[in-house]
Amino acid sequence: MNELFGTLPDSTPVHRWTLRRAGVRVRILSYGGIVQSVEVPDRAGTLGNVVLGFPDLDGYVKHPEPFLGALIGRYANRIAGARFPLDGVTYALAPNNGPNSLHGGERGFDKRVWDVTPVEHGLRLTRVSPHGEEGFPGRLEVSVTYALDERGALGIAYEAVTDAPTPVNLTNHSYWNLAGSGSAAGHELRLAASRFTPVDADLIPTGELADATGTRFDFRTARRVGTGYDHNLVLDKGVTPAPVEVAELYDPASGRVLTVATTEPGMQLYTADHIGEPFAPGDGVALETQHFPDSPNRPEFPGTVLRPGEVFRSETVYGFSVR
């Protein structure tokens, strides 16, 4: 189902698409590739929306900073000093997070209108990021496929090719609230990560891969997530060719369970402490599957440079159940 959702200030139309399968309903916008809503049943069978979103386009335009449900690129998370070296050249980016570049810059993928094509049980979103967009080198052709499988799990598959070397790190920035309203701080999180990347005052990694044992970053045994997190956790599985389950988020009140499987080596855990009105800190939990922050300046981290002739591929699957 495709409907007009609104019009941007420059008169560009934005459409909303609805996917339905196995009792799950997902709404996706052509603007920013935004996941506006994900409706799944609780243990009583009552449908509820489990991601934070705005009811109209105006909300997303006026409040861009939470990146609610959006596709993030060309580089998810932070790049220190809004610059990085590549093949002997230093590239300057648009600083939009103090001195740093965050989530692709001032006008990243989250603020672009994507071309949308229906595919079996899903949608394929495409756009071309031209050479020099937000300071990044290379013409990047990107496709992102949202699809519901036979169990109602939502898969997000990313692909990209380039005509010049460039860093690529793509993710989705949905905030999950399995209760459907109120705070998500009481949710319980299990995460297969025995290490994390400590950060400085600007939330830039120091380069250390620290042991999470005995710290507040150790979620290997499920526990209440709380608040106060905006950190990358190092997934024990590393980079994998196919998605591997790494996380489970559970709301004891509703019984809803979210599982996350991914090919990525890291997950940014963000508890919405600075999300802004009309939401409150802790109203959602972002589980951003990704490569590590500031990897273009950290050769010791898993690499994020895509070169001509290569294909960037990444996949994350969000599964839903109750208990």
- Which positions are catalytic? 173, 288
231 annotated binding-site participant: no
314 annotated binding-site participant: no
User: What amino acid occupies position 273?
Assistant: D
Q: For tokens 């590739």, what's the residue?
A: 33
97 annotated binding-site participant: no
Q: With beta carbons less than 8 A apart as the criterion, state whether 68 and 37 touch.
A: no
User: How buried is residue 176: exposed, middle or buried, by Cβ count under 10 Å (0-12/13-18/19+)?
Assistant: buried
Q: With beta carbons less than 8 A apart as the criterion, state whether 228 and 126 touch.
A: no
User: What amino acid occupies position 180?
Assistant: G
Q: Between the CA of residue 190 and those of 143, 154, 228, 257, 322, what are the distances in Å? A: 30, 19, 17, 11, 15
Which conformational region is residue 228 in: left (phi greater than 0), alpha (psi within -120 to 50 degrees), or beta?
Answer: left
List the structure tokens of 132. Answer: 């020099």
236 annotated binding-site participant: no
Residues in contact with 21: Cβ distance below 8 Å, sequence separation at least 6, in sequence order? 121, 148, 149, 150, 152
91 annotated binding-site participant: no
146 annotated binding-site participant: no
Distance linking the first and last C-alpha atoms of the chain: 31
Binding-site residue positions for beta-D-galactose? 77-78, 173-175, 230
Q: Residue ranges for the binding site?
A: 77-78, 173-175, 230
